[in-house]
Amino acid sequence: MRQLVSKEDATLSVRAQCQMLEISRSGIYYKPVGISEENLEIMRLMDRHNTDHPDEGVLCVRNMLRSNGHTVNHKRIRRLMKLMDLQAIYPQRNLTKRAKDAYRYPYLLRGLAITHPNQVWSIDISYIAMKSGFMYLTAIIDTYSRFIVGWNVGNSLDASVSLEVLKTAIARYGRPEIINSDQGCQYTSATWVDYLQSKDAPENAINISMDSRGRATDNHWIERFWRTIKRGYIYLNPAADGIELYRGVKRYVEYYNYTRGHTANNGLAPYVAYCRTDPEKDESSTKALLLRKPTQTRTELQII
């Protein structure tokens, strides 16, 4: 509502506009306070700790921070973890509950044999620390080949950011049969689910799979990628701003996709495994695939 108030309106004063809209006048002049340097340092430590110990919750994080000279209480840690979109992974009680969310879907990958590219994609968002501030990295991985089919960095957790990354990936590589995510607010929103269901064109619908609550391994493909890129690039090269971060992530993802061999692919780069439909193809075919590396279209930095 505050966006409707115009300070330049010559016919109505700000006081009158606020009275008509039934909002506080003081809120019009409020300027949000940025995150302190101390909190940014605490968040950097929390991110590294979560990468190495994703099963440890608030109390373990508190003890870790105190051992590093930061006296913080559990309330502050919970607030920062929510801002970073972090949650400890551990088995939770799951007593019978009435379904509260119409956009929550079952986990479809348990026992499923993943045998070809574009069968299953996995999407997630991760907090990325910088020299001053932070951003979020959204990425989609093809679980068969470990090929990153789409990614972007931005400063918002809004569902529209994830949806734009997905649309770009589909335009470039086609539609997957299944897309798996956690139960975050981005993926249990009408915006996300309605697009995947494609009610206007059912033949284009994508099956929706969501991690079970407290399951550490349901989305392990993308979790392993977060660990790889953070240890291999982010922690070693803290970016000064969003542009530097975007360019650095772009270089690393290209290295990860086209050069770095992956154990799950018998040492082949993810792109080669993604393109090879016949695992018995010879070495000359593999070299041909590397020469056929596609030109990457520019992805815009998402600043909201």
CB 212, CB 205: distance < 8 Å:
no
Mean pLDDT of all residues in 179-194: 88
Q: List, for residues 93-148, the tens digit of each pLDDT value.
A: 543 343 346 678 888 998 899 999 999 999 999 989 888 888 999 999 999 999 99
Check pLDDT > 90 for residue 252. yes
pLDDT at 22: 78
First CA to last CA distance, the chain: 18
Q: Is the pTM of this model over 0.75?
A: no
Report whether pLDDT(8) > 80. Answer: no
Q: In what order do the strands lie in the sheet with 147-154?
A: 147-154, 134-142, 120-129, 178-181, 207-210
Is-contact 210 179, C-beta < 8 A? no
Task: Report the percentage of the chain scoring pLDDT > 90.
Answer: 34
d(CA 169, CA 201): 19
Query: What's the whole-number average pLDDT of the chain?
Result: 82
String of b and e for 77-99 (b: at least 16 CB within 10 Å)? beebbeebbbebbeeeeeeeeee
Report pLDDT for 98. Answer: 39
CATH code, 120-291? 3.30.420.10
Of the pLDDT bands very low, low, confident and very high (cuts 50, 70, 90), residue 297 is very low
- pLDDT for position 214: 56
Q: What was the pLDDT predicted at 34?
A: 77
The DSSP H or E segment spanning 111 is none
pLDDT of amino acid 142: 96
- Answer yes or no: are the C-beta atoms of 194 and 92 closer than 8 Å: no
Owner of token pair 């009610």: 199
Whether the per-residue pLDDT at 229 is higher than 50: the answer is yes
Q: How far is residue 32 from each of residues 11, 29, 61, 129, measured CA to CA in Å? A: 28, 10, 27, 20
